[in-house]
Amino acid sequence: MTLETPATPHDRIDSAEQATQLERTWHSPGGLLGWFTHVNQRMIGKRFIITAFIFFLLAGILGILIRLQLAGPEQQFIGPELYNQFFTMHGTVMMFFFAIPVMEGFAIYFVPLMVGTRDMAFPRLNAFGYYVYLIGGIVLFGSLLLSMAPNAGWFNYVPLSSKLYSPGYGVDVWTTMITFIEVSALTAAVELIVTTLRMRAPGMSLNRMPLFVWAALVMSFMIVFAMPAVIVSSTLLILDRLVDTQFFIVEGGGEPLLWQHLFWYFGHPEVYIILVPALGMISTIIITFTRRPIYGYTALVLSVVAIGFVSFGLWVHHMFTTGLPQLGMSFFTAASVTIAIPSGVQIFCWIASLWGARIRFATPMLWVLGFFAIFVIGGLTGVMVASIPFDTQVHDTFFLVAHFHYVLIGGAVFPLIGATYYWWPKITGRMMSETAGKWSFWLAFIGFNVTFFPMHQLGLEGMPRRIYTYVEEMGWGDLNLLATIGSLVLATGFGVTLINAIWSVLRGRRAEPNPWGAPTLEWAADSPPASYNFRHIPVVESRWPLWDWEQAGERAVVTGLRHDRREVVLTSVLDAKPVGVQVLPAPTIWPFVSAVAASMGFIGIIFHPIFFVIAFFLVAFTLVAWFWPRRPWRDD
């Protein structure tokens, strides 16, 4: 391996036929059958993103239906049974099937590009994770079509979710699908960690990593530590339901509060798992559109890490009304308000970076500015509900609904849409319409506030969450109608972006490799990137490699990787010094088959335990095929 500085990139180093060979090596097979064999990170990442947005659309439609039912008092539009399925599905799908997967999808797509490598560390595992997620989502929505959807809420509290109070298959489906998401999220998390720590381009030491990569790394570690809690709880619940264990059954000596502890021990980090990558997206966009290094790189990284740590010490603030001892709960008040500090540091670092910069007000930047306005309000209501006495009044009311929509939509979805506009040219090779983007932003921003701001007042006026109707005398009708009108405007705003995206794919202007003038490595690849991402792995000398190259007029690259097999550079964890070469596996159908086998077991167990045994052996068989060693004489 050598470092060279070619005056004209590429051609001095390798010939055209070598480039063709490289393309062939990294090529993903075509055709329908070929589709199931893909393992390249961009294919899988794109699928995660598209699938997650489809779920966003579906769950958003459920949200609109919920709002229509609540638009006035005592409406007969949706009955209680269906409504309860709808709000359960809305929450479950938004949290588990949209928010986490879409963040993972962006991380899977862009982390390898941003750290300058050619694929994820475990491409086949990556594919496996996607199929598990896809099958889980399809089955969950299938259950809604069959009218046997879960209806015990996305939080699924026992004993309401026990066999006695929720007979039927709904909760079984919920519990099983959560297992799918856990598996999928964990696979993505371990891959992202390994990719980030061991496959960065030479020279990209930890303190030169793009902020989005830092955020994805923190998110992945949080997933690794948070998911086991919900794996345990959902497993105990499925055992309670299927084989009559008594983990949560009071009469059998079980403890309903155990579910709440386990669920929120995951559930609170969960919301930060969604927020943290969004914070990375905001930093990324601000750097690009101010065209200068961000202020407080170290502070931003430490804040994200701090948020990751502190988020594990907050879960009891979801349980302030359960009758736990006051003193013990007070610690969680203190921990909850602590989050304000890292969040504040981030916000003021961004303000300092924006101050006096020549900001380009392109669509991504608009969504980020919208984030500021919404997220600050959501953060402040978050501090409010950290107070035990205040929370006893607003817990489980529409005040809470307003609060978490402010932090989740404002804190995660707005940056996410901004990032979608920002990275769209990289993913598709085409530009989106700026005009439509700005329309979309303003509609969504106004619609969002009209929808959710009145809910603060509704909650304080005593309107509980998760109710399918309310009596007229309560006087909640006007504000609910306002919220419903707002939700239609909000949906229109997102709809404009959807149309914009479809139009762009069909008719959009072709994008150059770096349309925004951004400094990070993903913009050094083509738009859309070639199947091998980078024809030559770049060498990094600062945090802003593309700006360096622009000034220097030349760049250093890694040479000596073979063209005839999938090779990537491994580097050391801290300083990213090259330490070796790793050969990555080729496309294969087995991850898909394995995911189908595993799904069969998980879904079948709802109906009969024998499926678990069958699937156990089937999965073992598929894993053998998956890990079948490559013949050594092929890898001379």
Partner 1 sequence: MPLSKYVRSTGLAGAAAPLLSACEGPQSALDPAGSAAALIARLWWPTLFVAALVTLLVLTLLAVAVLRARRKQAALPLNARQSRNLMIAGGILLPLAATIPFALSSFSIGRVIEAPVPDDAMTVEVIGKQWWWEVHYLDETGERIATTANEIHVPVGEPVRFLLKSDNVIHSFWVPNLKGKTDMMPGRTNVTAMTADEPGVYRGQCAEYCGTQHALMAFLLVAEAPEAFDAWLEGQRRSAMEPETGAQAQGRDVFLDAGCAGCHTIRGTPADGDLGPDLTHLAGRRTLAGATVPNRIGHLGGWITDPQHVKPGSRMPPSDLTPEELKTLLDYLESLE
The nearer residue to partner 1, 85 or 420, going by C-beta atoms, is 85
The 3-state DSSP class for residue 151 equals: coil
Neighbours of 170 (CB within 10 A): 23
Neighbours of 328 (CB within 10 A): 9
The nearer residue to partner 1, 72 or 464, going by C-beta atoms, is 464
Task: Give the shortest CB-309-to-partner 1 separation in angstroms.
Answer: 17
The nearer residue to partner 1, 194 or 446, going by C-beta atoms, is 446
The nearer residue to partner 1, 474 or 502, going by C-beta atoms, is 474
Q: How many helices (H) and strands (E) does the chain have?
A: 21, 4
Task: Give the shortest CB-261-to-partner 1 separation in angstroms.
Answer: 13
Contacts 24+ apart (CB under 8 A), 80-85: 80/468, 80/469, 81/151, 82/147, 83/468, 84/151, 84/153, 84/466, 84/468, 85/144, 85/147, 85/149, 85/150, 85/151, 85/170
Task: Give the shortest CB-82-to-partner 1 separation in angstroms.
Answer: 10
Task: Give the shortest CB-446-to-partner 1 separation in angstroms.
Answer: 6
Cβ pair 73, 477 in contact under 8 A: yes
For residue 329, give both structure tokens. Answer: 């709960």
- Reported residue count of the chain is 636
The nearer residue to partner 1, 251 or 636, going by C-beta atoms, is 251
Task: Give the shortest CB-249-to-partner 1 separation in angstroms.
Answer: 9
Distance CA 50, CA 119 (A): 19
Distance CA 111, CA 417 (A): 18
Distance CA 480, CA 323 (A): 31
Task: Give the shortest CB-569-to-partner 1 separation in angstroms.
Answer: 35
For residue 147, give both structure tokens. Answer: 């009218």
DSSP 79-113: -HHHHHHHHHHHHHIIIIIIIHHHHHHHHHHHHHH
The nearer residue to partner 1, 16 or 471, going by C-beta atoms, is 471
For residue 322, give both structure tokens. Answer: 């359960």
Task: Give the shortest CB-260-to-partner 1 separation in angstroms.
Answer: 9
Neighbours of 502 (CB within 10 A): 11
Distance CA 459, CA 395 (A): 9
The 3-state DSSP class for residue 4 equals: strand
For residue 563, give both structure tokens. Answer: 């063209």
DSSP 563-580: SSS-EEEEE-TTT--EEE
Task: Give the shortest CB-391-to-partner 1 separation in angstroms.
Answer: 7
The nearer residue to partner 1, 382 or 578, going by C-beta atoms, is 382
Nearest to 139 by CA among 61, 63, 55: 55
Task: Give the shortest CB-324-to-partner 1 separation in angstroms.
Answer: 10
The nearer residue to partner 1, 144 or 349, going by C-beta atoms, is 349
Task: Give the shortest CB-505-to-partner 1 separation in angstroms.
Answer: 32
Distance CA 89, CA 135 (A): 16
For residue 43, give both structure tokens. Answer: 């294919």
Task: Give the shortest CB-476-to-partner 1 separation in angstroms.
Answer: 9
Task: Give the shortest CB-562-to-partner 1 separation in angstroms.
Answer: 46
Q: Are strands 557-559 and 2-4 parallel, antiparallel or unpaired?
A: antiparallel
Distance CA 448, CA 562 (A): 52
Cβ pair 40, 119 in contact under 8 A: yes
Q: In sequence order, what are the residues at sequence separation of 6 or more whose Cβ sits closer than 8 angstroms to the Cβ of residue 331?
A: none
The nearer residue to partner 1, 440 or 480, going by C-beta atoms, is 480
Task: Give the shortest CB-406-to-partner 1 separation in angstroms.
Answer: 11
The nearer residue to partner 1, 104 or 391, going by C-beta atoms, is 391
Cβ pair 483, 401 in contact under 8 A: no
The nearer residue to partner 1, 89 or 615, going by C-beta atoms, is 89
Cβ pair 227, 190 in contact under 8 A: no
Q: In sequence order, what are the residues at sequence separation of 6 or more whose Cβ sits closer than 8 angstroms to the Cβ of residue 520?
A: 114, 210, 212, 284, 544, 545, 546
Task: Give the shortest CB-423-to-partner 1 separation in angstroms.
Answer: 23
The nearer residue to partner 1, 376 or 488, going by C-beta atoms, is 376
The 3-state DSSP class for residue 163 equals: coil
The nearer residue to partner 1, 159 or 415, going by C-beta atoms, is 159
The nearer residue to partner 1, 453 or 549, going by C-beta atoms, is 453
Task: Give the shortest CB-379-to-partner 1 separation in angstroms.
Answer: 9
Burial 364-395 (b: 16+ CB within 10 A, else e): bbbbbbbbbebbebbbebbeebbbbeebeebb
Distance CA 556, CA 477 (A): 65
The nearer residue to partner 1, 244 or 564, going by C-beta atoms, is 244
Distance CA 183, CA 603 (A): 14
